[in-house]
C-alpha cells in the first residue's frame, strides 16, 4: 500500500463530527492527493478535515501576512538606499539593483527559515580582508556576474579598479546586517513579510509564554516531510510538547540500514524518525533498486514535448497510472504539452505556475507598446506607425480569433500599398472603408490611435484589454446561446 493510502486508512476511521484534525504537508499538491485517498476510504458523511501546506500553517502562527514579490523588492531597495546613503554617494538605480535584490531576497529567506543569527553571519564576512589584495580567485563567469552589478568596474585590467571594486564589495557586505535589520523592521511595521520572516516571527510567537493555543486543532498531523529546516523543526517540537502532533515521514527503509543509499543524509532522516515518532504504525516504502533512467537527445526544447508524449503513447500503463508525472524544466512549454497529450488522458493535475509574461495577452501588449514607442513624425508633423509591430498586432492570435476577417483585410491593404510607415489618418481611412460592423471599426481605430503621454498610454492599454475581454465574452455567450438553441430545437423535433 502506498504511503498516502496508509495514512489515509489510519485517519479515515477517526473522522467524526467532533474530531478537529489538521493535516499539514510540505506542499499543496501532496495535500490534494491525500484528500483524494481519504475520500475513497470514507464510507460515511463527515466534515472534511482541514488540509494545508507548511507555509500556510506557519502563516497562521505569525502576525504577518505574505507580501508579493514586487512590494518586497521595492521595500528592500528603500532599505538599501537608506543604509548605503550613509556610507557612499554611489547608489545604484532600481534597474541595476533588481538582479542583486532578487538574490538578496532569496538569501534572507533561507537565513530566516534556518533561524540564523544574522549579526554573526554578516560580521564574519569582514574577515575576508584578503579580498582587498587580489581578485585572482574569481572565475571569468563570476567576474561577469559581479560586473553586471558593479557595471563601471573592470576587475581584470586595472589594479586600482580592482581595489576600488573590493572596497565597494567589502563595504556592501559590512552594511548587509543593517540593510537586513531595516528591511525586516519595515516589513514587520507594515504587517507583511516573506516566507522566511513569517517562519521566524511564527517561532517567536509560539515560544512566547503569553501565546494562546485555543484556536489550534486537537490534533495536527505532519505528513510526508523530508529534510527539515530549523524553523520547521522548532514548529514540530512545539506541538509535540503540547501533545497534539503526529508525524509520518516518507523515508525509504534503505536509509535505515547499511547500503549504497545510506549516505550522510541518512543521519538526519534517522534523527527525525527518532525524535518525531508516529502515533500509529505504518510501513515505510522499500526502495532498494536503482532508478531506471533513460536519456533522449533533442535539438530544441519544444521537441521535449513530442518525446514525452510519444513515450506516453507507447506505454499504455503510463496513461492510466496515477503515479505518472511530467516535470517541465521550462514552464512556457506547458500549453504545448497540454495540446499534445494523448487523447486517452481525460484528466490531468497541473501543479505548476504559469507566468503572465508568457501568456498571449502579454505578447499582444508588448507588440502594442512597441508600436507606440516606435512612433515617428513625417514631414508634415503627423505621427506614423512602423509596419512591423503593426502587422504583428494584426496577426496576433487574440486579434485573429476575434476579428479574423477584418484584420486580414487591413493586412492586405497595408501589404498591397507596400507601406513601410503609415500615418494614423491613412490607417483610420482604411478601417473606415471596410465592410464590417461599426463596433469593430471603432475598436481598430482606438487600437491604432497614437499616444505619447505615459498616463494616456496606461489608460489606452487598459481600454484595449477591456474591449478584447468584452468581445471574447460576447463570442462565448453567443456560442453558448447557439448551442442551447440547437439542443432545444433538436429536443422539439
Q: At 422, is the secondary structure helix, strand, or coil?
A: strand
Tell me the three cell numbers of residue 33: 492527493
**Within the chain, which residue ranges are assigned CATH 3.40.50.300?**
3-63+201-275
| Residue 146's pLDDT band (cuts 50, 70, 90) | low
| Residue 211's pLDDT band (cuts 50, 70, 90) | low
Length of the chain: 493
Q: Are strands 21-25 and 219-225 parallel, antiparallel or unpaired?
A: parallel
Counting beta carbons within 10 angstroms of the beta carbon of residue 147, is it exposed (0 to 12), middle (13 to 18) or buried (19 or more)? Answer: middle
CA distance linking residue 325 with residue 327, whole number of Å: 6
- Write down the mean pLDDT value for the chain: 83
Q: What is the pLDDT of residues 341-365, one digit of tens each?
A: 998 888 888 877 777 888 888 999 9
Average pLDDT over residues 199-209: 91
Contact at 8 Å (CB) between 129 and 123? no
Contact at 8 Å (CB) between 448 and 385? yes
What pLDDT, on the 0 to 100 scale, is given for residue 42? Answer: 83
Which of 225, 285, 299, 214 lies closest to 256, judged by CA? 285
Q: At 66, is the secondary structure helix, strand, or coil?
A: strand
Average pLDDT over residues 75-79: 96
H or E stretch covering 404 = helix 397-417
Say which residue the cell 512545539 belongs to: 238
Question: Could you tell me which CATH number the domain at 3-63+201-275 has?
Answer: 3.40.50.300
In the sheet that holds 421-423, the strands lie side by side as 376-377, 383-386, 421-423
Is the pLDDT confidence value at 486 over 50? Answer: no
CA distance linking residue 446 with residue 427, whole number of Å: 11
- Whether this model's pTM surpasses 0.75: no
Amino acid at each position: 500500500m502506498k504511503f498516502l493510502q496508509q495514512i489515509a486508512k489510519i485517519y479515515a476511521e477517526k473522522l467524526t463530527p467532533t474530531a478537529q484534525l489538521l493535516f499539514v504537508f510540505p506542499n499543496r499538491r501532496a495535500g490534494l492527493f491525500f484528500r483524494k485517498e481519504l475520500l475513497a476510504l470514507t464510507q460515511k458523511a463527515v466534515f472534511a478535515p482541514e488540509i494545508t501546506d507548511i507555509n500556510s500553517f506557519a502563516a497562521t502562527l505569525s502576525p504577518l501576512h505574505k507580501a508579493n514579490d514586487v512590494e518586497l523588492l521595492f521595500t528592500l531597495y528603500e532599505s538599501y538606499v537608506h543604509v548605503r546613503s550613509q556610507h557612499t554617494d554611489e547608489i545604484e538605480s532600481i534597474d541595476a539593483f533588481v538582479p542583486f535584490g532578487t538574490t538578496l531576497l532569496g538569501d534572507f529567506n533561507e537565513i530566516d527559515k534556518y533561524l540564523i543569527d544574522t549579526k554573526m553571519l554578516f560580521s564574519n564576512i569582514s574577515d575576508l580582508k584578503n579580498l582587498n589584495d587580489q581578485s585572482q580567485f574569481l572565475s571569468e563567469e563570476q567576474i561577469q556576474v559581479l560586473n553586471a552589478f558593479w557595471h563601471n568596474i573592470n576587475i581584470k585590467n586595472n589594479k586600482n579598479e580592482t581595489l576600488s571594486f573590493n572596497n565597494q564589495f567589502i563595504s556592501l557586505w559590512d552594511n548587509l546586517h543593517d540593510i537586513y535589520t531595516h528591511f525586516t523592521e519595515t516589513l514587520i511595521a507594515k504587517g507583511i513579510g516573506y516566507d522566511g520572516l513569517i517562519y521566524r516571527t511564527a517561532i517567536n510567537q509560539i515560544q512566547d509564554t503569553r501565546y494562546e493555543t485555543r484556536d489550534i486543532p486537537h490534533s495536527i498531523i505532519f505528513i510526508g516531510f523530508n529534510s527539515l529546516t530549523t524553523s520547521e523543526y522548532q514548529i514540530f517540537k512545539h506541538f509535540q510538547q503540547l501533545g497534539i502532533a503526529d508525524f509520518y515521514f516518507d523515508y525509504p527503509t534503505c536509509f535505515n540500514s547499511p547500503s549504497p543509499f545510506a549516505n550522510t543524509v541518512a543521519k538526519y532522516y534517522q534523527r527525525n524518525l527518532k525524535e518525531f515518532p508516529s502515533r500509529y504504525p505504518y510501513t515505510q516504502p522499500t526502495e532498494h533498486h536503482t532508478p531506471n533512467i533513460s536519456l533522449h537527445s533533442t535539438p530544441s526544447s519544444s521537441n521535449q514535448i513530442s518525446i514525452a508524449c510519444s513515450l506516453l503513447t507507447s506505454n499504455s500503463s503510463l496513461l492510466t497510472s496515477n503515479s505518472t508525472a511530467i516535470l517541465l524544466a521550462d514552464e512556457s512549454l506547458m500549453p504545448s504539452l497540454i495540446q499534445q497529450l494523448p487523447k486517452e488522458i481525460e484528466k490531468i493535475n497541473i501543479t505548476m505556475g504559469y507566468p503572465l509574461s508568457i501568456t498571449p495577452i502579454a505578447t499582444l501588449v508588448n507588440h502594442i507598446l512597441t508600436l507606440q514607442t516606435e512612433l515617428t513624425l513625417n514631414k508634415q508633423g503627423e505621427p506614423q506607425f512602423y509596419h512591423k509591430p503593426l502587422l504583428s498586432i494584426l496577426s496576433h492570435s487574440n486579434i485573429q480569433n476575434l476579428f479574423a476577417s477584418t484584420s486580414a483585410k487591413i493586412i492586405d491593404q497595408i501589404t498591397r500599398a507596400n507601406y513601410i510607415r503609415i500615418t494614423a489618418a491613412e490607417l483610420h481611412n482604411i478601417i473606415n472603408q471596410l465592410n464590417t460592423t461599426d463596433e469593430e471599426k471603432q475598436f481598430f481605430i482606438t487600437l491604432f490611435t497614437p499616444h505619447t503621454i505615459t498616463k494616456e498610454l496606461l489608460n489606452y492599454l487598459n481600454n484595449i484589454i477591456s474591449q478584447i475581454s468584452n468581445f471574447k465574452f460576447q463570442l462565448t455567450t453567443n456560442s453558448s446561446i447557439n448551442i442551447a438553441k440547437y439542443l432545444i430545437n433538436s429536443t422539439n423535433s
